[in-house]
Amino acid sequence: MSAQAPRPLVLHVIHHLVIGGMENGLVNLINRTPDVRHVIACVEDFSDFRRRLTRPDVEVLALRRSRVGVWGLREALYRLCRQLRPSIVHSRNMSGLDAVFPARLAGVRCYIHGEHGWDIGDLNGTKLKPMLLRRLHSPWIDRYITVSRQLENYLVGRAGIARSRITQIYNGVDTARFISGPEGPADLPWLATGDPKPFVFGTVGRVNRVKNQRVLVEAFAALVARQPELRDRLRLLIVGAGPQWDELRGQVEALGIADLAWLPGAREDIPSLMRAMDVFVLPSLNEGISNTVLEAMATGLPVIAARVGGNPELITGNTGQLYEPQIEHSLLKAMANYHDNPGMAREHGMAGRGRVVKDFSIDAMVNSYVRVYSELMV
């Protein structure tokens, strides 16, 4: 009897394996595709986030471009491809493009590149250099995957990629893990007061310039200043860590809402923390397709988000509110609207949960990726 053929290997190239929406999607994909072997090569490094990988056979490598330089990185990727002989190299976002030429020189037959969102240095995809880099690498890429139609349209319109070479796959969410319920984590600070349950505006995300949590803080403080009687009822929950965390904490104190806000940093119990919220707010300057928005919708929360990137593809008229980031107080108005209309908030939350279950399941996402892998490996 002939030996069974080895399972195909996919080498994933990403910038960091840290807490983030794209990284979470990668982990979910790997954990749910037992018929494929996976290796993750980090252009820079990884964190304890790698523990979310439930498969013991997945190797995670740190190539540390900032230490070895771009040519040292490319040499390491070439050697890695020669050693592993992956069936597919699947890179993501701009830094992942450094793997294109090393992979092809090493003889890799199938190459996929994914576009998952925007960097602070090129929020709207208007800069010339990133566009030219995408065009330069395009002939050596077999398939593009975008998480939103907006990103697909960018590749077609700005980077000159044929639409036939692009597959658009929405992120998926675990609707069994993210589900509505009355319970929250035991260390919620307002539990100790014995006061009636407050009305909580919350967000989850890496605390950096792109996520723009400072605008949420400003809007919350303005709402309380406009209606001082709400100090006894409103609370603000900002979950996440990052380079602007100290700055954000200072802003909360300077605006006089430190007693109303909780910034617990990075947490592992995100489903429980979302169940402590009444409204989820995403004030990002730009987004591909936000995993946290999908998780909030799955939890049954109404969502307020800036009208940018892929957000309008997720938030329809009866699942949340889109605000115009260029218009002062537009976020404040949306927040006040939900506080003043709790019935509408519940209705939008229920509609959001229904839409995620129908259109954004994690199984649908995984099946779409597996289908692309199978097509290329024929």
In-domain check, residue 129:
yes
Place of tokens 């779409």: 368
For residues 48 and 99, membership in a common domain is answered with yes
| Domain shared by 216 and 144, yes or no | no
In a domain, 373, yes or no: yes
**Residue 354: both structure tokens together:** 């229904």
Do 162 and 208 lie in a common domain?
no
Residue 265, amino acid: G
At residue 378 the predicted structure's pLDDT band, cuts being 50, 70 and 90, is low
Q: How many domains does the chain have?
A: 2
Backbone φ and ψ of 268, nearest 5°: -95, -15
Residues 201 and 282 in one domain: yes
Domain of 354, CATH number, reads: 3.40.50.2000
Confidence of residue 7 (pLDDT cuts 50, 70, 90): confident
Picking from 174, 210, 203, 352, the residue whose alpha carbon sits closest to that of residue 292 is 203
Quickly tell me which residue has 């199984």 as its tokens.
363
Say whether pLDDT at 38 is over 90. Answer: yes
* pLDDT over 60 at 59, yes or no: yes
CA 3 centroid distance within chain: 41
> Do 202 and 167 belong together in one domain?
no
Average pLDDT, the chain: 92
Whether 96 has a pLDDT exceeding 60, the answer reads yes
Domain carrying residue 303 = 189-359
Could you tell me what percent of the chain has a pLDDT over 70?
A: 97
Q: Is residue 288 part of a domain?
A: yes
Q: Does 234 share its domain with 351?
A: yes
Would the pLDDT of 87 be above 90? yes
Residue 38 lies in a domain: yes
Identify the pLDDT of residue 26: 95
Tokens linked to 45: 């490094």
Residue 292 lies in a domain: yes
- Evaluate whether 48 touches 130 at the Cβ level (below 8 Å): no
Q: Between 208 and 111, name the one with better pLDDT.
A: 111
130/151 Cα distance (integer angstroms): 14
On whether residue 180 sits in a domain, the answer given is no
The answer to whether residues 286 and 95 touch, using CB atoms and an 8 Å cutoff, is no
Determine the pLDDT at residue 317. 76
Residue 4 belongs to some domain of the structure: no
Is residue 200 domain-shared with residue 347, that is, in the same domain? yes
Residue 70 and residue 205 in one domain: no
Residues 329 and 370 occupy one common structural domain: no
pTM attached to this predicted model: 0.85
Strand pairing of 37-42 and 110-115? unpaired
Instruction: Give domain status of residue 243, yes or no.
Output: yes
Residue 3 has pLDDT above 60, yes or no: no
Residues 101 and 84 reside in one and the same domain: yes
Residues 77, 116, single domain; the answer is yes
Domain match, 127 and 232 both: no
Task: Give the per-residue pLDDT at 194.
Answer: 67
Name which of 251, 313, 79, 277 is nearest 178 in CA terms.
277
- Provide the pLDDT for residue 2: 43
